[in-house]
């Protein structure tokens, strides 16, 4: 189905890096874009008005979690996910496949779908391609994903089988779709194997999806292996469709993957790190419980424009973290989201300016450090 | 010491209910006023900009907690409590006495002061009147409290002794004060005993404090006993000084105590109830985990102007509570604070309008219900 109100415009390139805009029924998404993750219909610790203030333009939520709680049918009766969670910008839902395949003891997979147990109460459930589309249509996100099978990246036979299933399921998802206001993305699988990846991309391109996700990465393979897959896929995937690297990641990854033509990213990292007491900065990660910060009157990061950095000191935020105060998690989450969203905005600006490679060369060396 | 930049102006009365304004170095406080409690230099779950948006004009923080962590000297080196916690409006600190006397197994009291163990690490500490003033001067709140002894309200002998100590300590606190930009309040003790309460009030009035707190209430006595004490003290306490009922409380208590001439209130209740999953409404408390709310598309309270009620449904907030999501606590905290702050604003307006008794008669009957 060709979705209405959905189109990707490629506006500029710098090397292979792409800057564009993705039009959706709930607004335009400047790309490349980082999507904060709202697992259970909420970005942990961060209310929607803060996401808006941070300049988030796309939020991801998890089909698996919402299906189990509060239930996709309930969300539909409450007016859909946008209205339910109070976010009227663009939304993306994954297929639930990643969560199901992350629970190896709790699921059995066959050609028709996957049976799994709820991590909440142990009850048994089944996802088929048709069921997943039905759930995602109940949720009503602007961008939705096909059901795919995620295999461990280096197991050849498993990946051959997973690619076959993923392809069959992708076609069934496409057939099952009834809403024309959602863009259904295919998901390229194939682990670290170039021939499988190419085969997967070409199969899905033949099905003519409005966008392509790259799955099965950032799941244990090396960075070099990830980059090889991205470099391989870049010239194969159609230029006029958005490319989404699922579950990635860090600012370092943004630079590496944008350099291979990726447009969309998502990751729980900024809010998860914040809850674990870490702040992201251009000079590496900071442990916010560090005694050395106790009387530090500087902001989390010099020059940062976020609410946390413009109003509070490292010393105060350290106090909140040590005292296990919720506002500490909130301020660190705000800062970490700002850091990634702002890094992506700088990347996009550098693509228009033709300076992406310089920005990448300047920024990459310090990002990996832990301060 | 007569504090500079501190003055109470009584502007209107309706029966014994008083409306006024309290001028402080960090701004004016319209009274009667409810102060949200920021125990550890943060109102749990609610950033300062939200407090500002909610119209909070006074925030309380706890000397006992800040002395232990992060330490009052550290707060002083960080520029004082206002700057440390990012709240530049009026602040009030208690004396730490209430916390110390709430830890009966961990403290010994003598004429000179009280020795106690930290609830954090068991280390031994000592509060004397002089030490408490030194801590409160390091913190730098606009309104500070004398060290007092809180006795169980119905024990006669204990209260006689506690009143004697409280008086001696009040005089020593007054002598110890060196900063003229903080208003030091005396604290009336005496349990439920009218003669002790009167004796305590008159002794403290002779010391001429810029304001008077009423301590030792809301600690186990009946509502009727509390009202008796307030009615007794109202004509004794000077009309041109603010009266602060410590640790109270609920919207019901506001009506009862304002009717007895009280000007200042504080309580952890709105944020604590929110963390326990309860919302305050004019029709009583709501259990936010209640299954009956799962598909409720209404706001926490009809007509409420807070961010939670203008943007989210009961059904969504119930989902967040069941899923233990931080944003659920945040939204319920915002709403509960708004409920109490707005109730107090309505009380103040009714005093000016001469309709306080009608408002009280209309509102009291439903407030006690649990929906």
Distance of CA A17 to the CA centre of its chain: 18
Distance of alpha carbon B209 from its chain centroid, rounded?
Answer: 18
Q: Mean of the per-residue pLDDT values for chain B?
A: 96
| pLDDT of B263 higher than 50 | yes
| Percentage of chain B lying above the pLDDT 90 cut | 92
pLDDT band at B371 (very low <50, low <70, confident <90, very high): very low
Residue with tokens 């490679």: A357
Put simply, whether B118 touches A (Cβ < 8 Å) is no
Q: What is the pLDDT of residue A103?
A: 79
The beta-carbon contacts of A73-78 under 8 Å, at least 24 apart in sequence, are A73/A138, A74/B294, A74/B295, A74/B315, A75/A41, A75/A138, A75/A139, A75/A140, A76/A138, A76/A139, A76/A140, A77/B295, A78/B295, A78/B297, A78/B313, A78/B315, A78/B316
Which of A115-119, B200-204, B280-284 shows the highest mean pLDDT? B200-204
Q: Is the pLDDT of residue B329 over 70?
A: yes
Put simply, the answer to whether A84 touches B316 (Cβ < 8 Å) is yes
Nearest to A330 among B47, B294, B295 (CB): B47
Q: What is the pLDDT at residue A86?
A: 98
A330 and B41: CB-CB below 8 Å? Answer: no
B88: pLDDT strictly greater than 50: yes
Name the phi and psi angles at A353, rounded to 5. -80, -10
Question: What residue has token string 């009615």?
Answer: B231
Helix (H) or strand (E) holding A116: strand A113-117
CA distance A226 to B185: 66
> pLDDT tens-digit profile of B166-196?
999 999 999 999 999 999 999 999 999 999 9
Helix (H, G, I), strand (E, B), or coil: what is residue A202? helix
Angle at B139 between CA B136 and CA B144, to 5 degrees: 40
Read off the pTM: 0.97
**Nearest residue in B to A309, CA atom:** B86
Asked if A78 is an interface residue toward chain B (Cβ–Cβ < 8 A), one would say yes
Q: Are B84 and A294 an interchain contact pair (Cβ–Cβ within 8 Å)?
A: no
Closest to A121 (Cα-Cα) out of A73, A156, A69:
A69
- Give rounded-to-5 percent helix, strand, coil for chain B: 45, 20, 35
Q: A323 CA to chain B: closest CA distance, Å?
A: 8
Of A44, A294, A315, the CB nearest to B325: A44
Distance from the B45 Cα atom to the nearest Cα atom in chain A, whole angstroms: 5
Considering only CB atoms, B295 lies closest to which of A74, A320, A331, namely A74
Query: What is the structure's pLDDT at A371?
Result: 47
Q: Residue A206: which residues within 8 A CB-CB, separation 6 or more?
A: none
The residues, ordered by sequence, that sit 6+ positions from B340 with a Cβ below 8 Å of its Cβ are: B34, B251, B254, B267, B269, B270, B280
Q: Give the confidence band of B3 by pLDDT, cuts at 50, 70, 90.
A: confident
Whole-number Å distance between alpha carbons of B28 and A210: 59
**Best mutation site among B312, B327, B333 for testing chain A: the one with the most A CBs within 10 Å?**
B327
3-state secondary structure of A120: coil
Cα–Cα distance measured from residue A302 to residue A293, given in angstroms and rounded to the nearest whole number: 14
Q: What is the pLDDT of residue B148?
A: 96
Contact B316 A44 (CB under 8 A): no
What pLDDT score was predicted for residue A99? 87
Catalytic residue among A72, A142, A148, A266: A266
Residue A124's SS3 state is strand
- Give A69's contacts in chain B (Cβ within 8 Å): 319, 322-323
Q: What is the least distance, in Å, from the CA of B209 to any CA of chain A?
A: 33
Complex-level ipTM = 0.97
Q: Known catalytic residue: A266?
A: yes
Enumerate the active-site residues of B. 94, 266
> How far apart (Å, rounded) are the C-alpha atoms in residues B56 and A262?
46
Which residues pair with residue A183 across a beta bridge?
Answer: A143
Flag residues of chain A having pLDDT under 50: 371
Decide: residue B19, CB within 10 A, 0-12 exposed, 13-18 middle, 19+ buried. Answer: buried
């Amino acid at each position: 189905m060709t979705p209405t109100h959905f189109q990707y415009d490629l506006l500029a390139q710098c090397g292979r890096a792409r800057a564009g805009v993705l039009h959706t029924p709930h607004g335009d998404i400047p790309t490349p874009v980082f999507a904060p993750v709202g697992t259970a219909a909420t970005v942990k610790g961060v209310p929607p008005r803060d996401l808006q203030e941070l300049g988030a333009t796309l939020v991801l939520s998890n089909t698996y979690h919402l299906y189990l709680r509060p239930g996709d049918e309930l969300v539909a009766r409450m007016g859909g996910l946008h209205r339910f969670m109070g976010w009227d910008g663009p939304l993306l839902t994954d297929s639930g496949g990643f969560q199901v395949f992350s629970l190896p003891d709790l699921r059995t997979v066959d050609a028709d779908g996957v049976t799994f147990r709820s991590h909440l109460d142990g009850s048994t459930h089944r996802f088929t391609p048709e069921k997943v589309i039905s759930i995602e249509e109940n949720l009503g996100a602007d961008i939705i994903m096909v059901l795919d099978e995620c295999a461990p990246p280096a197991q050849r036979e498993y990946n051959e089988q997973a690619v076959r299933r993923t392809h069959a399921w992708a076609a069934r998802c496409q057939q099952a779709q009834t809403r024309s206001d959602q863009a259904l993305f295919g998901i390229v699988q194939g682990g670290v194997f170039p021939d499988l990846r190419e085969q997967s991309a070409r199969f899905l391109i033949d099905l003519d999806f409005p966008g392509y996700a790259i799955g099965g990465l950032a799941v244990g393979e090396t960075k070099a292996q990830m980059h090889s897959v991205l470099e391989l896929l870049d010239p194969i995937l159609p230029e006029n469709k958005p490319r989404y690297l699922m579950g990635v990641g860090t600012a370092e990854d943004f630079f590496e993957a944008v350099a291979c033509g990726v447009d969309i990213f998502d990751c729980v990292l900024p809010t998860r790190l914040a809850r674990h007491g870490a702040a992201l900065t251009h000079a590496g990660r900071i442990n916010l419980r560090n005694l050395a910060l106790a009387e530090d009157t500087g902001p989390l990061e010099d020059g940062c424009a976020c609410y946390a950095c413009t109003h509070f000191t490292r010393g105060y935020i350290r106090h909140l973290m040590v005292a296990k105060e919720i506002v500490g998690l909130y301020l660190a989450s705000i800062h970490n989201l700002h850091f990634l969203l702002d890094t992506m905005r700088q990347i996009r600006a550098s693509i228009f300016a033709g300076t992406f490679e310089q920005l990448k060369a300047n920024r990459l060396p310090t990002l990996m450090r832990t301060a």
